[in-house]
Structure 1
């Protein structure tokens, strides 16, 4: 992953870069959907803070945490994309700050999905203890643990950068564009990133799938609330899909590296813009759309905010 930028630089073609008109066109095609997605996420976040029932319910607090991470990740991705399109390079310290924050949000999302799946599992399998287990205190502690673990990961990444000989560089100005993988400057950082990413998504995947299986088994028991169990099963299945979309963002770089080896740089840039939209931006917006439409408590509030407080009734 750390060789992404050098791999791209070494691609020699007759025309290395897009023309101004084409760059403006592709930038617009990615910026407009991003603005729409950010508006939807921001409206959803506002909706989740607008009523006490959202602020005092475990699953809505977790949903707010997930949406906040996805929204910040989307904003940072778009910022780095704009800098690359405008051919603006940053210094290593500034790029490190931006990418560290983006990596922090990347870790928070799958961990939050795991807690959300466990909450639905408890609601179905232990309904009498659900209120005590998913109390405000426990939920706040779980969210704090997510942020702490994610921050420790970022701290470890930054400590590994200490080994890189920055003092041998003529300048701290980066030669190529800033990206999350451009800061994996030596093999130790690259190995750690691969290990942690694989471990994180493998563990999160097993946890979410296990809760899905548990909910299915509980739904078939005679004592289970069938309606609640079926709803919880669909919700956990949605979390599986969301986790898969998060994984798609991690395999984005290997895919574009493979494409970069077989196409010209100009065609590569065109493909990259399209893949950026579908692999990085779209998955970050699906949570607000899906939850806003599915949840009967959120839906009228979300529609009301989207329609500027007009009198909108849920269908």
Structure 2
């Protein structure tokens, strides 16, 4: 039997009228689809030219953006299940959550590697080409996905351990992380692993930022490169904070569920969903796509359906 009380797993939609269900579905699905299209174009852009495919930081950016895009699509599916009041069984819910965790871990782990790449570029410019190679970057991406796969394997084993103790196969409420935390082991593992990932990413960003600041004071350092790297690291930190914000999504809802009615709770949940789930998943393409001078003209070219013809043909 679950150690989580029913009140915590019952964050779902009840007693909403059809017009409100349709309105909420449209208000969340429309921006999600828009950003999915933008992210898809950004992903295509990062594979469209050799300069993107053969530059390590663009390979890492592709990995980050791919994970965020899949996360956005999966999150919208979960949210629509809640809006349409569709109940699922524990096995189905577990599969959905497992695929969510597969990509959810990739984003912060990629943010561990990306700051270190900028740190090497600024602090060890002569050795950058030897250290940060496509082969090493591919190995780093492989390690990231391996850790993510190991995470979902452990989560699956913890679920199977308590599966036989369930009174019913049907999830009581919204299919979410909370619904499948069936015991103290699952809860403790979830908190420990999440803390490990985000602490690792935070340490990597801060270490790289301090290293770049110290290197910028050196007379031999390229000041323009150091300034650009510092700004990039600040953006990495912002992205990490945005990713971390999604982890407080359910705890906030749980706290609010004790003091507000279900209808008000779900309306608050809709706002939280827009800011904590959709927004962090769509900012990667906007931040990097509009900021990077190499990506920007190519991305604009494809976003405008090739109607604008800038001098892109000779780019890269």
TM-score bin, normalised by smaller chain: over 0.9
Q: Deviations over 1:38-58 (max 9, x none)?
A: 111111001001111111110
- Contact between 1:8 and 1:265, CA under 8 Å: does it hold in 2? no
Is 1:233 equivalent to 2:234 in the alignment? no
- Residue 300 of structure 1 contacts residue 312 of structure 1 at CA under 8 Å; is this kept in 2? no
Describe the SS at the equivalent of 2:92.
helix
- Distance across 2 between alignment mates of 1:7 and 1:35: 30
Asked whether the 8 Å contact 1:2–1:190 carries over to 2, the reply is no
Specify the alignment match of 1:9 in structure 2: 10
Q: Is the 8 A contact 2:42 2:289 kept in 1?
A: yes
**Does the alignment pair 1:284 with 2:285?**
no
Q: State whether residues 289 and 295 of structure 2, in contact with CA within 8 Å, keep that contact through their aligned partners in structure 1.
A: yes
- Normalising by structure 1, we get a TM-score of 0.94
Answer whether contact 2:110 2:144 (CA < 8 A) is retained: yes
The offset of 1:152, in angstroms, is 0.8
Equivalent positions of 1:203-218 (< 5 A) are 203-218=200-215
The 3 A distance-change label for structure 1 pair 74 and 19 is same
Superposition deviation, residue 177 in structure 1? 2.4
Distance 2:5 2:302 in 1: 42
Give the number of equivalent residue pairs.
310
| Cα gap change, 1:300 to 1:192, in 2 (>3 Å) | same
Q: Distance in 2 between matches of 1:176 and 1:220?
A: 56
Q: How does 1:131-280 map to 2 (within 5 A)?
A: 131-164=129-162, 166-169=163-166, 171-280=168-277
- Provide the C-alpha distance between the structure 2 equivalents of 1:10 and 1:82, rounded to a whole number of angstroms: 13
1:45 paired residue number: 43
Q: What SS does the aligned partner of 2:178 have? A: coil
- Counterpart-to-counterpart distance in 2, 1:5 and 1:282: 29
Alpha carbons of structure 1 residues 170 and 186: separation in structure 2 relative to 1, 3 Å: closer
- Which structure 2 residues correspond to residues 64-75 of structure 1 after superposition, within 5 A? 64-75=62-73
Q: Which residue of 1 aligns with 2:127?
A: 129
Is the Cα contact below 8 Å between 1:2 and 1:183 reproduced in 2?
no
Where 2:171 maps in the other structure, the secondary structure is: coil
Gaps of 5+ in 2: 312-316
**Given the superposition, is the C-alpha separation of residues 31 and 134 from structure 1 closer, same or farther in structure 2, using an over 3 Å criterion?**
same
Aligned-pair distance for 1:176? Answer: 2.1
User: Displacement of 1:260 after TM fit?
Assistant: 1.2
Question: Take 1:149 and 1:5, find their aligned partners in 2: how far apart are those partners?
Answer: 32
Q: What RMSD over aligned residues (CA atoms) do the two structures have, in Å?
A: 1.9
Offset at residue 132 of structure 1 (A): 1.1
**Offset of 1:178 from its aligned partner?**
1.2
Instruction: Name which of 108, 112, 115 aligns with 2:113.
Output: 115
Q: Which residue of 2 aligns with 1:308?
A: 305
Are the counterparts in 1 of residues 171 and 179 from structure 2 also a CA contact under 8 Å?
Answer: no
Distance across 1 between alignment mates of 2:238 and 2:111:
10
Check whether the contact 1:30–1:277 (CA below 8 A) recurs between aligned residues: yes
Length-normalised TM-score, structure 2: 0.94
- Contact 1:2–1:181 (CA<8 Å) still a contact in 2? no
Query: Once the 2 structures are TM-superposed, how far is the Cα of residue 133 of structure 1 from its aligned partner?
Result: 0.8
